[in-house]
Structure 1
Amino acid sequence: MVKAVVAGAAGGIGQPLSLLLKLSPLVDELVLYDVVNTPGVAADLSHISSNAKVGGYLPPDGGAKTAFKDADVIVIPAGIPRKPGMTRDDLFNINAGIVRGLIEVAAEVAPKAFILVISNPVNSTVPISAEVLKAKNVFNPQRLFGVTTLDIVRAETFVAEIAGKSNPQELTVPVIGGHSGETIVPLFSQVTPKVTIPDEKYDALVHRVQFGGDEVVKAKDGLGSATLSMAYAGYRFTEKLLKALKGAKGLVEPSYVYLPGIPGGKEIAEKVGVEFFSVPIELGPNGAEKAVDILGDLTAKEKTLLEAAIKGLKGNIEKGVTFANQPPQQK
């Protein structure tokens, strides 16, 4: 029996993500949690003729604890989009607070759950999650993931367009670093099967992978963000993890993790100078079974991108750790 929870299930990412998980034969019980509308979303999904049983919970009467209790996997897309007049710091404080609160509940009632953080800024919300779990004495680095799969999905799609490949999923495009802007480092030199990126298209392709979210916001006239593609990416990572937990071998997906706590990760952390970093992760019954070091073969351009990424990540990580260790303000 696999119990999967979506925290933030009524939102723009949460609803399509919940739909995809309802369709997965790997999920037996799907529990939805949000501050509004979850009973309705759950009722709607429960009419779909797949095997997962669905429930929806709201905050009253300990809804979060009931939803999370004994979960196997908790996926967290919860948070709010940036609104007019809101600064990035305003947005950070709100979303960071939401994630901190959810992780506190998970630590109490589902301490062994695999936690998949989608809520932005991932570069900071994953360190926040780790600090909360440490404070509760239940931190297992192999069970905490920052979902960076959307960067990989975009890289596959955009490289396939340039390389004339009809099926982007036939490509493996490693993307390392973090999950925002210049902290995202696509390694086009390591695409398999090998492709050639023309020099004159390289910089634009890197920029498109790093800032693909802006493309969607602009196309939606500022009225939305990359919710559907993010939901697919979240589902893809969750499905791969669930397959690995059931014993499937050879499943690798980049993820933003606490490297020193994962086999093979300590050496990578020493190379890059940050403890939280996204590299290909070999998944298995224990979660993150191995961090795969692909940093030995970088081109000069990729090394330059990596330097910029590490600089940005240091600040992002520090911001998350500082926030996690501040007492929440009383309302």
Structure 2
Amino acid sequence: MVKVVVCGAAGGIGQPLSLLLKNSDLISHLALYDIVNAAGVAADLSHINTRSTVTGHTGANTLSEALQGAHTVVIPAGVPRKPGMTRDDLFKINAGIVRDLAKACVQYCPKAFILVISNPVNSTVPIVCEVFKKANVFDARRIFGVTTLDVVRSSTFVHQVRPQFEPHSNRITVIGGHSGTTIVPLLSQIESKLSLTAGEIKDLTKRIQFGGDEVVKAKAGAGSATLSMAYAGARFTNSLLEATVRGKTGLVESTYVHLRGNAGAADATIRATGGLEYFAQDVELGPEGVKRVVPLPTLSAEEQKLVKEAVEELKGNITKGIAFVAETQAKL
């Protein structure tokens, strides 16, 4: 049995994400958890004619039941970003939510694969890792920050500039982090026949970095990117399941991971990032989660500059997540 749990299943990302996961033939049990309305979402999705069983778990007292036996836990729980709200503002609200869910995972499914969507991912992934470290059950191969939306946006936006670039089948590597200038799309790696100009690369990079702002503005206070994030989250979850359940090889996705403890990440990447412990990079997926971190390609001069800027911001983001767990250690 392959049990996948969505924590925050009744939210703006959680509902469409759960809908997409209900279509997976690799999931036998889809457990939906939230503090409200999870039972209703589960009842609705249970009428869809696929083989997976759907259960709803509403309220903190049902979290243990939801998590027990989980193969994969996807965490979109938290509040969305609103106009004028930075990802730093989000941290103050979402950090505690993610920490408490990580604590529950440590207790009820310590070997599960943990997929973190809750923003700010640059800080929430270190929070999850620190909770697992303190419980002595940390495995760097099994905890992921889902940055797939940056990859999806990259392909989409390049296609809009160069229609001959097929967006669904062509994946663009995105490294760094998952907010603003920490997002570094490697547009130099696209096949040369597209002939993107320097100006187009600059504009595309900025749009990819701040694509989330387009959605926040367009929704006029009603939310942030939920549907596209759900699509991206389902895509990463399905890739992970293909590798860990079906044993499919050669699957590569960009994701924000703890570098130390993952094959291929040491030395070269750590040196390139100034010693960072966390970084988004192409990762080959395998039976244990991360099979290896794919070496960084040769970056253009502009991309090298962007990485330096990303590293400086990431240092603060990572430190903030680690410090949050240390400061609340008495509650763990």
TM-score higher than 0.5 here?
yes
Say which SS state the counterpart of residue 325 (structure 1) adopts.
Answer: helix
**2:311 aligned residue:** 310
Gaps of at least 5 residues in structure 1 are: none
For structure 2, the 5+ residue unaligned runs are none
2:173 is matched by which residue type in structure 1? P
Amino acid across the alignment from 2:35: V
Q: CA deviation at 1:193?
A: 7.7
Query: CA offset at residue 59 of structure 1?
Result: 2.2
Length-normalised TM-score, structure 1: 0.95
Alignment-derived partner of residue 271 in structure 1: 272
Q: Which region of structure 1 is more displaced relative to structure 2, 206-215 or 86-95?
A: 86-95
Residue 183 of structure 1 deviates from its aligned partner by: 0.1
Structure 1 residue aligned with 2:51: 51
Secondary structure of the residue aligned to 2:257 is strand
Equivalent residue of 2:327, what SS? Answer: coil
Structure-2 residue corresponding to 1:150 = 149
1:143 touches 1:287 (CA, 8 Å); kept in 2? yes
What per-residue deviation string (whole Å, max 9, x for no partner) do you get for residues 75-105 of structure 1?
Answer: 0000012458977655312200000000000
Check conservation: 1:131, 1:321, Cα contact below 8 A: yes
**1:300 counterpart residue number:** 301
Q: Distance in 2 between matches of 1:193 and 1:41?
A: 46
Structure 1 counterpart of 2:229 = 230
1:90/1:253 CA distance change after superposition, 3 Å: closer
Q: CA deviation at 1:170?
A: 2.3
Residues 36-86 of structure 1: CA deviation (Å, up to 9, x unaligned): 1000000000011101100011225x3111100110000000001245897
Q: Which residue of 1 aligns with 2:287?
A: 285
Distance 1:175 1:90 in 2: 24
Does the aligned pair in 2 maintain the 1:147–1:256 contact within 8 Å? Answer: yes
TM-score (norm 2): 0.95
Q: Which runs of 4+ in 1 moved over 6 A?
A: 84-87
Q: 1:166 to 1:188 in 2, by over 3 A?
A: closer
Task: Tell me what 2:127 maps to.
Answer: 128
Aligned to 2:199: 200
Written as runs of structure 1 = structure 2, the 5 A alignment for 1:106-185 is: 106-165=105-164, 167-185=166-184
Structure 1 residue 14: deviation in Å? 0.2
Task: Give the Å deviation of 1:250.
Answer: 0.6
Query: Which whole-Å CA distance do the structure 1 matches of 2:130 and 2:218 have between them?
Result: 37
Amino acid across the alignment from 1:263 = A
RMSD of aligned Cα (Å):
1.7
Shift of 1:324: 1.2
Alignment: residue pair count? 328
- The answer to whether residue 222 in structure 2 is matched with residue 220 in structure 1 is no
Counterpart amino acid of 1:111? P
Change (3 A) 1:133 1:184: same
Q: Deviations over 1:129-169 (max 9, x none)?
A: 00000011110000000000000000011111212226302
Aligned match of 2:249: 249
